[in-house]
Structure 1
Amino acid sequence: MIINNLLLKLKARDRESIDKARDVLLSMNGKIEYLHDLRVELDIRHGASSYDIILMSQFVSMADFDAYLVHPVHMEVSKFIAGVLETGASVCYERYK
């Protein structure tokens, strides 16, 4: 299983902006056949060093992850996120059973 975690800090950190970004990310659910599982969680600390959102996605293989990256639905979501993102960080790893 391939796990990709993406941390997002938004330019506008108010609740409305964060909720909108969360909804856009969740809009991929059920629309991308390569996406095995998708979770989006919001930060509850709200500290200066905190990120606002974590996107946790799972894929059966690296080939599926690569296909997801160029999928039109993901590309549309990525364009939105790029417009509201201040900074981000990611960790992609393989979890063995």
Structure 2
Amino acid sequence: MIKHIVMWKLKDFAEGKDKIENAKFIKTSLEELRNRIKQIKFLEVGININNSEQAYDAVLYSEFENVEDLNFYKNHPEHLKVSEFCSKVRSARVVTDYEI
């Protein structure tokens, strides 16, 4: 099992929306991928409620059966659309993938 975690710090304003609106759009867009990419075993998106400067604004937690399924997800056209949007509205991003 592969776990894939991504966190984003979002710009205060980007693509015509504020940080909260963009976080909600990212959440909805990623959650919709569950119905489009069968390789996703589990997917959860959270929006930060912690006011710390160190906190990230949105987080993705997802699970895949193996590395091949994760790579399929990463390169899927629907995921690439969401990823492109995230690139436009983020100021920072961290990611980790690990196997259990």
More strand by share: 2
Please tell me whether the aligned partners of residues 6 and 56 of structure 1 are also in contact (alpha carbons under 8 angstroms): yes
Aligned residues: 95
Which of these residues, 60, 63, 66, is aligned with residue 61 of structure 1? 66
Do the aligned partners of 2:74 and 2:80 also contact (CA within 8 Å) in 1? yes
CA distance in 1, matches of 2:36, 2:29: 12
Does the 8 A contact of 1:46 with 1:52 survive in 2? no
What is the root-mean-square deviation in Å for CA atoms of aligned residues? 1.3
Q: Which amino acid aligns with 2:5?
A: N
In structure 1, runs of 5+ residues without a counterpart are none
Of the three residues 79, 82, 92, the one matched with 1:77 is: 82
Question: Could you tell me the TM-score, scaled by structure 2's length?
Answer: 0.87
TM-score by length of 1: 0.89
Aligned to 2:47: 42
- Alignment correspondent of 1:11: 11
Structure 2 unpaired stretches of 5+: 13-17
Identify the match of residue 37 of structure 2 among 32, 47, 57.
Answer: 32
Deviations 1:25-54 (A, max 9, x none): 222121011111110011111221110111
Aligned partners of 1:8 and 1:87 also within 8 Å: yes
Deviation at residue 16 of structure 1 after TM alignment:
2.1
Amino acid at match of 1:10: L
Q: Percent identity?
A: 28
